[in-house]
């Protein structure tokens, strides 16, 4: 039994090591200064970089946060602090289903809701689709961490004559702040690598000067380059994968940094 | 909100001195769904005195205590009947918000619960700050005054900005008392405040209760007979949601009128 479980544990770790090994090996050697500063070169020309896609991914993540964090966090607050058990059951059920909706479906939905009416792909549509995908993730983690705050703190605050919303914002949410931020960061890390929902929504072109213009993103650029027949593009795809991996890794390290215990509490 | 907006007692100050009861309880019943946890209780709680509520587990004493500052309403199933007057003001009147009642009636819980994200001094002033008081001088004054009243000042004055959860269990409970006192309530409710503490910390809390009754009306729920006998002036014995007997503590413990009271205080049941 122990041997079997150990083997399974190794099976969990092995792909991570393999992915790391390959991406770092192939990606790091393909990195150069131009990769961060230049635009993609036209077909057949050597050189160029992913400056637009790197910027684009950050822009899209910022938009996604603007859309997903307020709705997700406040929805989680509702579930934990206000909702009735019957309504909560339905909201949770809906959120869990949304969490399982294939990401390409999200892309199609936002294509219909935004890209078609606006007559074109845009950075806005890309940000919205990632933000929508974040909502159920952020909502459920927020609810969970708020539920972990002992009821004694709520009672103590209410017994001091502090009104309910202030109790929630300044006592309960503050106590759970690390957990909420962790949930947000993990949701961002999750959508940072999404490709399918962006296929229909962002357009993946050059520099976007306005949010209504098409924008590039690292995962899309990787996709386009990886299926091309050019070695130079393959190298850039590896480099892009490396950067994306670093980004997700940085977010996860940020989570660890944020959740480390500052007070080393005894309780 | 301006800092003058903290509600004060509408009762004239002399009423406390002339022996008007701090709390007049009339036919109070509390229900959770269909179950009556407190049944038709009537008695007066004297101002500037300690009233102990005793009785076996599940007798409704905690529910009764929570009805005094309307904390039982946190349970959506809860419902009350009867009347409860705080220095003459009907706290269940339709136009009275629970928040206002709770500013006048403070509460200390069984398990000490200082806010873990806050320092010692921030815990003391939180009730003021989150009710709109921003004057730093006033906050500093009030925190020292409250910590002194809670007999904690000398132990923490050099580390006011240390995290509250770095204190010992007994200190944390006295911090919670200081936190409740800082908003200057008229009545202080204590729900088994020492039951999780060691004997030394317990005796500190009991000394504190005796000190505090000079300025406050205190209602304390306790499982500990000796504690009720040592620290209280009046004792109410609850059994199965009913008030069996109420009177001066000495009388309840030496010559109770009811057989059930005698059986309980002498340890024959409960």
- Confirm whether B190 is domain-assigned: yes
Please name each of the domains of chain A with its CATH number. Answer: 49-259 (1.10.3720.10)
Nearest CA in chain A to B176: A156
What SS3 state is found at B243?
strand
pLDDT tens for each residue of A129-182? 999 999 999 999 999 999 999 999 999 999 999 999 999 999 999 999 999 999
Give the integer Cα–Cα distance in Å for B119 and A224.
54
pLDDT band at residue B270, thresholds of 50, 70 and 90? low
State the smallest CA–CA distance between residue B178 and chain A in angstroms: 11
Kindly list the residues of chain A whose beta carbon comes within 8 Å of any beta carbon in chain B: 150, 152-163, 166-167, 170-171, 174-175, 177, 263, 265-267
- Confirm whether B101 is domain-assigned: yes
pLDDT value, residue A261: 62
- Confirm whether B75 is domain-assigned: yes
Please, are residues A182 and A255 in contact by the beta-carbon 8 Å criterion?
yes
- Confirm whether B115 is domain-assigned: yes
The interface pTM score, or ipTM, of the predicted complex is 0.88
> What global pTM score does this model have?
0.85
- Confirm whether B92 is domain-assigned: yes
Domain that holds residue B151: 18-265
pLDDT band at residue B1, thresholds of 50, 70 and 90? very low
Residues 6+ apart with CB under 8 A from A66: A127, A131
For residue A157, the chain B residues in CB contact (below 8 A) are: 115, 126, 130
- Residues 110-139, chain B, touching A (beta carbon < 8 A): 111, 113, 115-117, 126-127, 130-131
CB contact under 8 A, B113 and A150: yes
pLDDT averaged over every residue in chain B: 90
- Confirm whether B139 is domain-assigned: yes
pLDDT tens for each residue of B194-253? 988 889 889 989 999 999 999 999 999 998 898 999 999 999 999 999 999 999 999 999
Say yes or no to pLDDT of B165 above 50: yes
What SS3 state is found at A127?
helix
Nearest CA in chain A to B76: A84
Domain count, chain B: 1
- Confirm whether B7 is domain-assigned: no
* Biggest CA-to-CA distance, chain A: 72
Nearest CA in chain A to B165: A265
- Which of A155, A161, A166 shows the shortest C-beta gap to B103? A161
Structure tokens at B206: 């009991």
Structure tokens at A77: 């607050």
Q: How many CB atoms lie within 10 A of CB A161?
A: 25
- Residues 207-236, chain B, touching A (beta carbon < 8 A): none
Share of chain B above pLDDT 90, in %: 81
CB contact under 8 A, A156 and B106: no
- Confirm whether B142 is domain-assigned: yes
Give the integer Cα–Cα distance in Å for A158 and A166.
9
Indicate which CATH number applies to the domain containing B117.
Answer: 3.40.50.300
- Residues 22-81, chain B, touching A (beta carbon < 8 A): 69, 71, 74
């Amino acid at each position: 039994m122990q041997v079997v479980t150990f083997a399974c544990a190794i099976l969990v770790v092995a792909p991570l090591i393999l992915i790391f090994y390959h991406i770092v090996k192939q990606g790091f050697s393909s990195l150069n200064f131009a990769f961060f500063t230049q635009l993609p070169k036209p077909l057949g020309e050597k050189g160029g970089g992913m400056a637009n896609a790197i910027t684009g991914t950050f822009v899209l993540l910022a938009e996604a946060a603007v859309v997903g964090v307020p709705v997700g966090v406040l929805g989680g607050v509702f579930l934990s602090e206000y909702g009735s058990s019957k309504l909560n059951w339905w909201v949770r059920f809906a959120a869990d289903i949304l969490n399982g909706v294939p990401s390409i479906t999200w892309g199609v939905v936002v294509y219909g809701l935004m890209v078609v009416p606006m007559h074109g792909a845009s950075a806005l549509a890309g940000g919205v689709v990632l933000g929508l995908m974040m909502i159920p993730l952020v909502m459920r983690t927020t609810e969970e961490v708020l539920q972990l705050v002992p009821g004694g703190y709520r009672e103590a605050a209410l017994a001091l004559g502090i009104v309910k919303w202030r109790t929630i914002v300044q006592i309960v949410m503050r106590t759970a702040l690390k957990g909420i931020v962790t949930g947000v960061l993990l949701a961002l890390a999750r959508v940072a690598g999404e490709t399918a929902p962006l296929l229909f929504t962002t357009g993946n072109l050059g520099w976007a000067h306005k949010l209504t213009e098409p924008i590039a993103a690292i995962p899309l650029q990787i996709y386009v380059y990886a299926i091309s027949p050019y070695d130079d593009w393959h190298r850039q795809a590896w480099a892009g994968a490396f950067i994306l991996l670093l980004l997700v890794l940085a977010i996860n390290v940020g989570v660890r940094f944020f959740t480390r215990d500052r007070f080393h509490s005894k309780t | 909100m301006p800092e003058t907006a903290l509600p004060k007692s509408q009762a004239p100050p002399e009423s406390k001195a002339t022996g008007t009861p701090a709390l007049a309880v009339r036919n109070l019943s509390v229900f959770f769904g269909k179950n009556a946890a407190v049944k038709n209780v009537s008695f007066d709680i004297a101002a500037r005195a300690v009233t102990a509520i005793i009785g076996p587990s599940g007798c409704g004493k905690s529910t009764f205590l929570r009805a005094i500052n309307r904390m039982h309403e946190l349970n959506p199933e809860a419902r009350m009947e009867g009347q409860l007057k705080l220095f003459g003001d009907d706290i269940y009147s339709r136009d009275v918000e629970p928040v206002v009642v709770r500013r006048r009636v403070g509460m200390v819980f069984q398990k000490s619960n200082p806010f873990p994200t806050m320092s010692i001094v921030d815990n003391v002033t939180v009730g003021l700050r989150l009710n709109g008081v921003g004057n730093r001088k006033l906050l500093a004054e009030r925190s020292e005054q409250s910590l002194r009243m809670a007999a904690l000042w000398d132990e923490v004055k050099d580390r006011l900005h240390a995290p509250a959860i770095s204190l010992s269990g007994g200190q944390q409970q006295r911090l919670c008392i200081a936190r409740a006192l800082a908003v200057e309530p008229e009545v202080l409710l204590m729900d088994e405040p020492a039951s999780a503490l060691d004997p030394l910390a317990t005796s500190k809390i009991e000394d504190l209760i005796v000190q505090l009754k000079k300025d406050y009306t205190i209602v304390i729920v306790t499982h500990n007979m000796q504690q009720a006998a040592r620290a209280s002036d009046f004792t109410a014995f609850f059994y199965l949601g009913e008030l069996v007997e109420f009177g001066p503590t000495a009388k309840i413990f030496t010559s109770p009128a009811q057989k059930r009271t005698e059986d309980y205080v002498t340890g024959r049941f409960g």
